[in-house]
Amino acid sequence: MSVMEAPTALAAATGEDLMTQLFSEIRERREEFGRLRHVPKEFISRLKKLGVYRAATPACFGGSGLAPSAFLQLIEKISEADGSVGWVASFGSASVYLAALPKETQAKLYADSPDLVFAGGLFPIQPATQVEGGWSVNGTWKFASGCKGADMLGVGIGAAVPGQQGSKPRTAVLPPSQVEIVDNWDVMGLTGTGSHDLRVNQQFVADEWTFIRGGVPTIDEPLYRYPTIAYAAQVLGVVNLGIARAAIDEINTMSGGRVAITGAPKLADRSYVRIEVAKAEARLRSARGFLYDTTDDVWQTILAGDPVTTEQVALLRLTAVEVARVGNEITQSMFGLAGTTAIYSSHPLQRYLRDAAVVKQHAFLGEGIYDGAGAVALGVPPMPGFI
């Protein structure tokens, strides 16, 4: 799917009128979501109707088969309305992880509906004891974004049995009734994501309800051949493209407003403002082009039946960190252009500034990703876990 074709496919997949109505409601309620510190379940059900939570569900279980670029554009547009809702919606991609579960287990997961909300607190990996038929799970995990609206929850476990200390971490999948949500999400930005801690107290999880994170999928569909960890980073990084667009649009709205209290010209009459807005527009469009061109290139490789190369995976990871960085920098720049008007806590640019900064802090989007991508480009081994 080309970048030009993606918007048409996106509108067809979700319904243009439904999208417009929902985005308007998100803008009206984003203050409420921030006060609640999570997106409530009744609104999550609205995102389900938009198709967010069936985008990565296997087609054999009723999923929509949405191409990665189309899903990324959907998250970008939601994030333009509110970064927190965009962040929560981005985990509609999490079913790519669940594809590593046994097919029989997935059939049970999607038996009632393909619109499954999965959230997880995967870190820090907690040791679990292997018992007959499964695992005894106990511990506390951080950053479970969207956990209060989830249908199923996942936690990261590692083997605590002789000879398996070096094994790859796996995820244990549990119903919310077996997990305590520790209500402690008190942060500067993305306040509505509800990224609380999860606590599990000696729960048994059968083997068939665990999977290796990023493991080989048991479903043979194109989406599950797209690099899993890279996709997980992209759906987060793209949130900052939406926030940056909202920040530029806010300056455009302000530019023809009243003269400053000091008597200075309106924003649109100041050459430095015009220059910075033009530069921001160019940088945003360039970052978007890099993201969607690279994503579509890899997707076409998959559809052709060819393996994704190490170089392609590195580029995908590079797109994620780059759009997060560029989006953050553009938002900072627009905040600066607004002057003292934007220092009031009620101003939209306040929210955009804080949300964009928090996106950039995510471990998947840190400076180390540039090192990994550079290592692959130069033909030397990247840091462990990069590919």
Residue-wise pLDDT for 81-114, tens only, equals 999 999 999 999 999 999 999 999 999 999 999 9
CATH number at residue 251: 1.20.140.10
Q: What 3-state class would DSSP assign to 115?
A: coil
Confidence class for position 12, pLDDT limits 50, 70, 90: low
pLDDT at 14: 54
Confidence band for 5, pLDDT divided at 50, 70 and 90: very low
Same domain? For 207 and 231 the reply is no
Distance, CA of 142 to CA of 220 (rounded, Å): 32
Question: Which positions ≥6 away from 36 have C-beta within 8 Å?
Answer: 192, 194
Please name the residue that has the structure tokens 């890099």. 290
Looking at residue 257, what is its pLDDT?
59
- In angstroms, the CA 13 to CA 7 distance is 10
Could you give the CA distance from residue 121 to residue 94 in angstroms, rounded to a whole number?
12
On whether both 313 and 372 belong to a single domain, the answer is yes
User: What's the confidence (pLDDT) of residue 214?
Assistant: 79
Encoded amino acid at 115, one letter: D
How far apart are alpha carbons 386 and 351 in whole angstroms? 32
Q: The tokens of 177 are what? A: 């009734």
Q: How does pLDDT run across 64-73, given as a tens digit for each residue?
A: 989 999 999 9
C-beta atoms surrounding 268 within 10 Å: 14
Last residue of a domain, one of 147, 182, 212: 212
Q: Are residues 175 and 274 in the same domain?
A: no
Burial of 14 (C-beta count, 10 Å sphere; 0-12/13-18/19+): buried
Do 255 and 336 sit in the same domain of this protein?
A: yes
232 shares its domain with 374: yes
* CB contact at 8 A, 3 and 67: no
Question: Where is the domain boundary, 212, 241, 262?
Answer: 212
Other C-beta atoms closer than 10 Å to the C-beta of 59 total 14
**CA separation for the pair 155, 222 (Å, rounded):** 26
Question: CATH code at 32?
Answer: 1.10.540.10
Q: Give the pair of three-digit tokens for residue 243.
A: 């926030």
Residue 256 has pLDDT above 90, yes or no: no
* Number of structural domains the chain divides into: 3
Rg (CA), the chain: 21
Please state, rounded to an integer, the average pLDDT across all residues of the chain. Answer: 92
Residue 233 lies in a domain: yes
How does pLDDT run across 177-212, given as a tens digit for each residue?
A: 999 999 999 999 999 999 999 999 999 999 999 999
Please give the DSSP secondary-structure letter assigned to residue 141: E
CA 87 to the chain's CA centroid: 5
Give the CATH number for residue 173: 2.40.110.10
Instruction: Determine how β-strand 152-159 pairs with β-strand 210-212.
Output: unpaired
> What pLDDT is recorded for position 261?
56
Task: Say whether both 31 and 121 belong to one domain.
Answer: no
Q: Both 256 and 327 in a single domain?
A: yes
Quick one: 330 and 372 in the same domain?
yes
Tell me, yes or no, whether 112 lies in a domain. Answer: no
Whether residues 37 and 142 share a domain: the answer is no
In a domain, 45, yes or no: yes
**Domain match, 134 and 26 both:** no
Shared-domain flag, residues 33 and 10: yes
Say how far apart CA 155 and CA 200 lie, in whole Å.
9
pLDDT at 384: 87
pLDDT category at 127 given cuts 50, 70, 90 is very high
In this prediction, residue 167 has a pLDDT band, given cuts at 50, 70 and 90, of low
Domain end marker among 98, 127, 150: 98
Q: In terms of domains, do 46 and 132 share one?
A: no
Query: What b/e string do you get for 363-380 counting C-beta neighbours within 10 Å, with b at 16 or more?
Result: ebbeeebeebbebbeeee
Joined together, the tokens standing for residue 245 give 């667009």
Q: pLDDT over 90 for what percent of the chain? A: 86
Q: Is 172 within the bounds of a domain?
A: yes
pLDDT digits (tens, 9 = 90+) for 26-73: 999 999 999 999 999 999 999 999 999 999 999 999 999 899 999 999
pLDDT at 265: 82
Domain membership flag for residue 387: no
Q: Please report whether residue 355 resides in a domain.
A: yes
Structural domain boundaries, residue 55: 6-98
With a pLDDT cut of 70, the percent of the chain lying above it is 92
Whether 280 maps to a domain, the answer reads yes
Its sign, for the CA torsion 234, 239, 240, 244, is: positive
Assigned domain for 220 exists: no
